[in-house]
């Protein structure tokens, strides 16, 4: 079959809402875009464990400590399914991990901000997971079977994390004046990164046209961002917190919250590697991988010896 | 000392040990060697802290002064902690962590097994639940002792060094809690020292199978945890763990 014809059939399948499965024919660009997106998503889950892991040993109650440990463990689990999903596209987990450790692949830029107080753990669950869920609920409707199925499962857990995060913030906001200040301060620092995290505006999003044509993404960054803002502003108000944007207003006609300008220069600065924690996050992951290597080598050597012993026993 | 007071000290030793073990293991979360083991270590940390919560809640009830799990975890200083010294030792590398877990888990399995027969209903219930977990923990840490001990040249050296670093704290696991003899004579708990032979047997077999040198069971051991004399490490653990809570007395989280 001619390449053009294959491509047309592929587009028809997508347009009729069929899922593409690993063994199906797919254009190289489709494979590349998905490999890029799924692996970035997997790395984000793993790097995201670092800023949250930063507060496990200091969680202010044992109940919160257990919940945070379980949450960070869930993120590791999400990383695992996503690395499995990306392997269906013909790359190995090791390859894609090496790409980001060597600075050739991205991960969600928001994890390059530091977690400075306990309230940041609430802010991440509420804002970062909140934005992620809106994005991932959309991705769950995407055209690639393994990715969309992974998203369905991940979204369920993320919704739980999101409620937990909001509950942390809400509790702080109803607490002592110092606790309330801690919650407001976290919102002040995380608000801009959170509204930036679903990606750049549609007119400056280099991959969007292609990923939307193939229904890898079914809605644009601007739509997702607006949905996040509309959902989050009333939650902030319900907790008695102020969104750090003096131009924020509700448009009665459209029914949407309108924000002041979003600092895209800041967004690109951090994406390009110059956020407060980019170097530290990558170094921490490199250290973990390095520590892992001798452990894996030992396990492999042991398994080999055991295999030989088994063989001698059965001979 | 009344039986109830003695039981408070006994349960506190158990609860503090689980909490501090869990704390140390949780330091691995997000930094674990290989994703699968990050998940496993975090899972075990969750079990330990879960046990700590049940035990500290029970200790608070036995004490009868209205202290909650959090009051006990966050508002006592190192000298009031009763965890075994082994638990507070630094993680070191994965080899040291694994061998430290192995010594602790081998002890925990015997302890939980014995306490599953306790006439104290609450302690018995906690022990039965914890026994399932400690058996799994022991399987995990024992498997890793075997893999690292009989793995590569590097892993052999690392785990031997890890064992060397923690060995002198093994004996303190068996130190009787304050008033333990009261509980022993009432038949509520076994004498902790009586568990030692069986634990040593698990260790000996495993180290032999791992082609490692079996450590000297008669070596001089550090002790002091049951009198509140800890290593230098514990006060650092607590100052980290308690920092947020203590900055905000009376706050709810």
* Confidence (pLDDT) at A223: 95
DSSP symbol at A118 = T
Chain A touched by B74 (CB under 8 Å): yes
Helices (H) and strands (E) in chain B, counts: 11, 0
Residue B128 lies in a domain: yes
User: How many degrees, rounded to 5, is the angle at CA A187 between CA A185 and CA A190?
Assistant: 110
Phi and psi of A258, rounded to 5°?
-110, 130
Q: Are A60 and B42 an interchain contact pair (Cβ–Cβ within 8 Å)?
A: no
B43 contacts in chain A (CB < 8 Å): 73
Which residue of chain A is at minimal alpha-carbon distance from B143? A299
Average pLDDT, chain B: 97
Chain A touched by B157 (CB under 8 Å): no
Residue B253 lies in a domain: no
Q: Are B151 and A53 an interchain contact pair (Cβ–Cβ within 8 Å)?
A: no
**Is the CB of residue B32 less than 8 Å from the CB of residue A284?**
no
Find which of A46, A51, A75, A76 to mutate to test the B interface (most B CBs within 10 Å of its CB). A76
Q: What is the pTM of this model?
A: 0.95
Task: Judge whether residue A254 has pLDDT over 80.
Answer: yes
Domain of residue B213, residue span: 3-247
What's the number of domains chain B is made of?
A: 1
**Is the CB of residue A117 less than 8 Å from the CB of residue A189?**
no
pLDDT in tens, B105-161: 999 999 999 999 999 999 999 999 999 999 999 999 999 999 999 999 999 999 999
How many other C-beta atoms are found inside a 10 Å radius of the C-beta of residue B90?
15
C-alpha to C-alpha distances, A184 to A111, A119, A169, A181, A297, nearest whole angstrom: 19, 9, 9, 5, 47
Residue B61, min C-alpha distance to chain A (Å): 17
Residue B105 lies in a domain: yes
B196-209 vs B121-149: helix crossing angle, rounded to 10: 20
Which CATH number goes with the domain that contains B106? 1.20.1260.10
pLDDT in tens, A113-142: 999 999 999 999 999 999 999 999 999 999
Residue B252 lies in a domain: no
3-state secondary structure of A256: strand
3-state secondary structure of B221: coil
* Confidence (pLDDT) at A313: 62
Q: How many CB pairs under 8 A join A and B?
A: 144
Q: Are B50 and A66 an interchain contact pair (Cβ–Cβ within 8 Å)?
A: yes
Closest residue to B253, CB basis, from A50, A171, A291: A171
Task: Judge whether residue A315 has pLDDT over 60.
Answer: no
Residue B10 CA to residue A289 CA, distance in Å, equals 40
pLDDT in tens, A83-104: 999 999 999 999 999 998 998 9
Positive or negative, the Cα torsion across B205, B211, B216, B220?
negative
Residue B182, min C-alpha distance to chain A (Å): 31
Residue B53 CA to residue B68 CA, distance in Å, equals 9
Q: Are B34 and A295 an interchain contact pair (Cβ–Cβ within 8 Å)?
A: yes
Residue B102 lies in a domain: yes
Residue B127 lies in a domain: yes
Residue B13 CA to residue A289 CA, distance in Å, equals 36
Compute CA A205 distance to the chain's CA centroid, rounded to the nearest angstrom. 18
pLDDT in tens, A210-221: 899 999 999 999
Task: Judge whether residue B227 has pLDDT over 90.
Answer: yes
A296 contacts in chain B (CB < 8 Å): 33-34
Chain A touched by B37 (CB under 8 Å): yes
pLDDT in tens, B153-212: 999 999 999 999 999 999 999 999 999 999 999 999 999 999 999 999 999 999 999 999
Q: What residue has token string 């901000």? A: A113
Residue B22 lies in a domain: yes
Instruction: Provide the ipTM.
Output: 0.97
Residue A98, min C-alpha distance to chain B (Å): 13
| Residue A201 burial (10 A CB sphere; 0-12, 13-18, 19+) | middle
Q: Taking Cα atoms as reference points, which of A128, A265, A99 lies closest to residue A189?
A: A128
Give the model's confidence band at A314: pLDDT under 50 very low, under 70 low, under 90 confident, else very high.
low
């Amino acid at each position: 079959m001619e390449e053009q014809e294959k491509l047309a059939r592929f587009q028809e399948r997508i347009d009729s809402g069929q899922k593409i499965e690993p063994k199906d024919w797919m254009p190289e660009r489709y494979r590349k875009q998905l490999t890029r997106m799924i692996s970035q998503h997997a790395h984000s889950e793993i790097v995201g464990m670092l800023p949250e892991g930063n507060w496990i040993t200091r969680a202010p109650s044992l109940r919160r400590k257990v919940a945070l440990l379980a949450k960070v463990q869930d993120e590791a689990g999400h990383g695992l399914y996503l690395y499995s999903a990306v392997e269906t596209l013909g790359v190995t987990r090791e390859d894609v991990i090496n790409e980001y450790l060597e600075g050739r692949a991205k991960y969600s830029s928001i994890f390059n901000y530091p977690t400075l107080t306990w309230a940041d753990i609430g802010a991440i669950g509420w804002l970062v997971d909140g934005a992620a869920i809106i994005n991932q609920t959309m991705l769950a409707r995407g055209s690639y079977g393994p990715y969309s199925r992974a998203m369905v499962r991940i979204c369920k857990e993320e919704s739980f994390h999101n409620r937990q995060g909001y509950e942390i913030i809400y509790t702080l906001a109803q607490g002592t004046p110092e606790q309330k200040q801690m919650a407001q301060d976290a919102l002040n620092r995380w608000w801009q990164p959170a509204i930036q995290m679903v990606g750049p505006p549609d007119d400056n999003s280099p991959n969007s046209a292609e990923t939307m044509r193939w229904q890898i993404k079914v809605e644009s960054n601007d739509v997702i961002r607006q949905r996040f803002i509309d959902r989050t502003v009333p939650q902030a108000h319900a907790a008695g917190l102020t969104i750090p944007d003096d131009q924020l207003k509700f448009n009665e006609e459209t029914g949407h919250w309108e924000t002041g300008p979003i600092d895209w220069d800041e967004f690109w600065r951090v994406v390009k590697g110059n956020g407060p924690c980019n170097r530290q996050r990558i170094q921490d992951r490199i250290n973990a991988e390095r520590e892992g290597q001798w452990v894996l080598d030992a396990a492999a050597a042991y398994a080999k010896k055991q295999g030989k012993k088994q063989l001698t026993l059965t001979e | 000392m009344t039986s109830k007071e003695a039981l408070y000290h006994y349960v506190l030793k158990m609860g503090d040990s689980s909490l501090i073990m869990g704390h140390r293991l949780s330091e691995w979360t997000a930094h674990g060697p290989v994703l699968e083991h990050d998940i496993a270590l975090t899972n075990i940390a969750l079990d330990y802290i879960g046990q700590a919560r049940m035990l500290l809640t029970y200790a608070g009830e036995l004490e009868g002064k209205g202290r909650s799990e959090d009051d006990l975890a966050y508002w006592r200083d190192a000298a009031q902690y009763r965890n075994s010294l082994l638990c507070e030792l630094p993680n070191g590398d994965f080899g040291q962590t694994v061998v430290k877990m192995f010594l602790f888990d081998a002890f925990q399995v015997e302890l939980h097994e014995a306490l599953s027969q306790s006439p104290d209903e609450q302690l018995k219930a906690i022990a039965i639940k914890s026994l399932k977990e400690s058996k799994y923990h022991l399987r995990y840490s024992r498997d890793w002792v075997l893999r690292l001990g009989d793995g590569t040249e590097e892993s052999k050296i690392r785990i031997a060094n890890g064992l060397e670093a923690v060995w002198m704290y093994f004996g303190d696991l068996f130190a009787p809690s304050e008033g333990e003899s009261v509980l022993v004579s009432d038949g509520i708990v076994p004498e902790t020292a009586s568990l030692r032979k069986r634990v040593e047997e698990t260790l000996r077999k495993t180290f032999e199978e791992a082609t490692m040198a079996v450590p000297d069971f008669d070596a001089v051991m550090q002790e002091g945890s049951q009198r509140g004399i800890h290593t230098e490490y514990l006060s650092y653990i607590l100052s980290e763990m308690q920092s947020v809570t203590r900055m905000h007395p009376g706050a709810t989280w």
